[in-house]
Chains A and B, each alone.
Chain A
Amino acid sequence: MALPTERPIPQAPPDGAAATADTKPRKRGRTVPPPTERIPVLRWARENLASSYFNAFVTAVCLVALYYIVPAFVEWGLIDAVFTADSHEDCRAASGACWAVIEEKHRPMFFGVYPYEEHWRLVLAVMIYIGAVGMTMIRRFWSYRILVPLWLFTLTSTLTLLWGGVLGLSAVDTTQWGGLPLTMVLFSGTIVVGFPLAIVLALGRRSHMPTVKAVSVIFIESLRGVPLITILFVAVNVFPLFLPQGLEFDKMLRVMVGMAVFFACYEAEVIRGGLQAISRGQYEAAEALGLGYWHTMTRIILPQALRICLPGIVNHVIAAFKNTSFVLIIGLFDMLTATTSVLQDPVWRRFTVEAYLCVGFVYFMFCFALSKYSHRVERWLSEDKRF
């Protein structure tokens, strides 16, 4: 930001000095603002793009790069692109992008192998879900009286829509769930199971009870040291071998628990970082007030600790969203896997880039929204320390 004092102060021009009238020389010539400062755009450019030689150099490099990339991209993605095509031949003839591939394949990309005739159920479920998330994000609705019924309704309605088997809806097995709804179910499941578990693990690790502490440490360290893909493989293929005959858990549920546990281990360490940042005085003050362990934790320590480590928490939440695509190894068709799979079609596989760009954009929208929202929560929390 330019300091206001640096602005040229209009003054009455002395006699015969009209040209330099408004830049009255100061003690040092250096401080005289250059003439560009009079034009707002140029001033902005100087301050933000070329405030030093190095920055000017970086700006120049970026401009050159943009000069080469942007027109080429616009030409490929817009001007020469094919947006609708009767067949793949139209796309092959064009030199630009083939967005028609998305029109052709959007159903399996976004809904996987869910029965085609029932896709409306998925659309409805996603809309209800996004609506509920949107409402939950608004601070005004943060009360039990609104959120509990809202989420009871959302969960029953979306899961009923997905599973079917009641109200005249045909039953759809979880192995047929796919695409965006599957990504959302896995993500929500991971967070809602994983987050409370993370808090428990973080508290457990700092517990004075040796058993609780040992269990937490072993749990966190052993699972954190294993790649997610291994956990999923064990959950899907190895776990059933230990179960008694006849007892069987749904594959998707197993996967979700695997993801949630993995997420919890990482998140627990983030939360532990926050817990460690709380000064001893807070604990002692709580004790002096006669609060028990749970009251101390839920009313005094955790609210502060979670506030401190919110950026770290959100970091892992976003990672968890993208981790949902690991289900490819166990044959569930999330958005990314479904796209990869349907684009094995030889007729359309030349245009995978376009399809991946589309999926990438959807991922970006979700992650960007999450990150923006977390910034806003951080701001609320810093405005309202009491909260």
Chain B
Amino acid sequence: MRKILKLSFLPVLASAVIAFQPATSAHAEDGPTVKKVKERGQVLCGVHQGRYGFAIADSKGKWKGLDVDYCKAVAAAVLGDASKVKYLPMGSVQRFPALQSGEIDMLSRTTTVTLTRDSALGLNFGPPTFYTGTGFMVRKSIGATKVDDLKGAAVCVFPGSTTEKNIAALFASKGMDYKPVVIESSKQLVGAYMSGRCDVLSMDQAGLPGHKQFDAKNPDEHEILPGVFSKEPLGIGVRAGDDQWFDIIKWVTHVTFNAEEWGVTQANVDKMKAESKDINVQRLLGVKGDLGKKLGLSNDWAYNVIKQVGNYGEIYDRNWGPPLNLARGVNKLWTEGGLMYGFPMK
């Protein structure tokens, strides 16, 4: 036993060794986020812990997803290297304190932009990078083709979510009754629907095609009803009070929209830079003007974003293309009837 006691002092040593680890971030002097990011050489980006299409570790443990690509885009714009990102997976409760306390520089984590979050939480949000909302999937056998057919249906839904409230409001407005089946975990929620405990599965519509295609025994037995029944614009959050950083987030997002609109892709960006006669493209890629300098960045900031990450269409297809093949819907460019509208870059 004496030996055990002696051994118990080894730990002190172990903790001492661990404590000697160098601090991971540079001095947080008062000043703009850009300064910190440049000193550190890394963007600290809060992402989801695991949501396919937005942020998930793939089979090699590499982060992938639309939100992840925007972390990369910002790193490419500010540091010239899309790989200089430190991903910090965040729970939904923890994400806002993490941003407020400066643990992360940007929050790119399926965050719905709302007035309260923008104001009371002291945050700012960039232009939405993904529009989604509540959707419904039904078994074809119940014979419903639109939401008005769902009178008296049993609806599987997450508890306490905005979805739950949206559905209550939606059904009340149509004067229909329904039976909510409230289940906490997404796996069990989907399981309950698949096993027939409810007629309707309601959740964020971006998730529905995946469940139809991969969780159903026979995908043809299910149908996703047309329409989106709540507004969930997902945008990148930053702390209020640093206008330069907010501007960068905002305009990096617009770069991805505009690049798609003007046909600048990862593959042709070098050619475009050398040959394009379009004044918009020339300004975008830093051939003419000083857009980058105005943001406090190098003039090839947008070139780096497109070269290393791609335009919005490429980002979308990379993350929502095969195997899910989620239709773009309102996430198309405004020129094609969607909501993605890049602001003028001049």
Residues of A within 8 A of B (CB): 104-105, 107-108, 111-116, 136, 142-144, 147-148, 151-152, 155-156, 159, 163, 173-175, 178, 188-189, 191-193, 195-196, 199, 233, 236-238, 240-241, 245-246, 248-251, 253, 256, 298-299, 302-304, 306-307, 328-331, 333, 337-338, 340-342, 344-347, 349-350, 352, 381, 387
Contact = CB atoms under 8 A, between A and B. Distances in A.
B5 A108 contact: no
A97 to B, nearest CB: 17
**For chain A, what secondary structure do more than half of its interface residues adopt (helix, strand, loop), or is it mixed?**
helix
A342 B5 contact: no
Interface string B1-42: 111111111111111011101011101111000000000000
B89 A333 contact: yes
A331 B94 contact: yes
B336 to A, nearest CB: 26
A340 B28 CA distance: 34
Interface stretch (B58-66, B263-271, B310-318): B58-66
A348 to B, nearest CB: 9
B81 to A, nearest CB: 15
A116 B62 contact: yes
Contact of B86 (A107, A173, A387): A173
B124 to A, nearest CB: 20
A192 B14 CA distance: 7
Contacts, number: 174
A195 B1 contact: no
Interface of B: 1-15, 17-19, 21, 23-25, 27-30, 49-52, 56-63, 86-91, 93-94, 97-98, 101-103, 187, 210-211, 213-215, 323-324
A156 B20 CA distance: 12
A253 B18 contact: yes
6 contacts: A142-B7, A173-B86, A237-B97, A333-B57, A341-B49, A349-B215
A251 B17 CA distance: 16
A64 to B, nearest CB: 26
B1 A107 contact: no
Contacts of A115: 61
**For chain B, what secondary structure do more than half of its interface residues adopt (helix, strand, loop), or is it mixed?**
mixed
Contacts of B13: 151-152, 155
Contact of B94 (A152, A159, A249, A330): A330
B14 A155 contact: yes
Given A237-B97, A246-B29, A196 B1 contact: no
Contacts of A240: 101-103
A104 B60 CA distance: 9
Most buried by A among B10, B29, B215: B10
Contacts of A337: 49
Contacts of B214: 346-347, 349-350
A25 B58 CA distance: 76
Given A237-B98, A237-B101, A341-B56, A112 B15 contact: no
B62 A113 contact: yes
Nearest to A87: B323
Contacts of A142: 3, 7
Contacts of B49: 328, 331, 333, 337, 341
Contacts of B56: 341-342, 344-345
Contacts of B28: 245-246, 248
Given A303-B2, A344-B52, A108 B58 contact: yes
Contact of A196 (B11, B23, B63, B94): B11
